[in-house]
Structure 1
Amino acid sequence: MSENANEVNADQVEMSSEEVKDVEENKAMGILAYLIFFIPLLAAKDSKFAMYHANQGLSLFLVFVAVNIIGTVIPIIGWIFIWLPGYILSMVLLIMGIINAANGKKKPLPVIGKWQLIK
């Protein structure tokens, strides 16, 4: 048995069978939450897993919007120091979130992961 299989089993032992079922049924919604955050809000509103990732996706979307606004309002300096690094950081967070959802984990994203926008 590989180490990855042991890690998954160890994570699932900490979750109830109901939570494991929720994760398995809503992984796609968790992944989709980072691309279009409102779809899980409509299609999987009873899933704690999907709602968790929808919250993370909404937080990330707001970071994208803020970076875009600041980068366009402040000419040249805003583009160099805010827009470009902001988009790179946002893309890294996006990839991290998708990986977490695909692996069935409810792990908060760095910096923005603690924001609770959806209850």
Structure 2
Amino acid sequence: MYDSSDIQSNKGMAIIAYILFFIPLIVAKDSKFAWYHANQGLTLLVSAVIVNVVLGIIPFIGWILLPLANLAVFVLAILGIVAAAQGQVKPLPFIGGYTLLK
């Protein structure tokens, strides 16, 4: 499904996808591997925004949970970066099953 030469040549783009998801979409348009990780990066970004908005609105409990949620987002980003660097196509825990980019 994923070509090994595609994986080797686009590992850097896949890593960047977790920092700026749109860069691989522009630079590596033909790479399924980079697009997969761009989708994971976008899903992570959308999830982070939703969690931050929702927890930011909820008084006290939300404000207490907000740093923990942001830590979880950071950990998920690190897991994605490690998977991309190792050339793996592995979904992120909890949110990796969603496909926002086709």
**How high is the TM-score relative to the length of structure 2?**
0.94
Query: Over alpha carbons, which structure has the higher Rg?
Result: 1
One-letter code aligned to 1:117: L
| CA displacement at 1:79 relative to structure 2 | 1.2
| CA displacement at 1:90 relative to structure 2 | 0.7
| CA displacement at 1:75 relative to structure 2 | 2.3
1:39 and 2:16 matched: no
| CA displacement at 1:58 relative to structure 2 | 0.3
Q: Which residue of 1 aligns with 2:86?
A: 103
Q: Which residue of 1 aligns with 2:45?
A: 61
Distance 2:45 2:79 in 1: 14
Q: Per residue, is there more helix in 1 or in 2? A: 1
**Where in structure 1 do 4 or more consecutive aligned residues deviate above 3 Å?**
none
Q: Which residue of 1 aligns with 2:60?
A: 76
| CA displacement at 1:31 relative to structure 2 | 0.1
SS at match of 1:65: helix
Deviations 1:20-56 (A, max 9, x none): 1100110000000000001111111110000000000
1:88 and 2:71 matched: yes
Structure 1, unmatched stretches of 5+, are 1-14
> Taking every aligned residue pair, what percent have the same amino acid on both sides?
52
One-letter code aligned to 1:108: P
| CA displacement at 1:66 relative to structure 2 | 1.0
One-letter code aligned to 2:6: D
**How high is the TM-score relative to the length of structure 1?**
0.81
SS at match of 2:10: helix
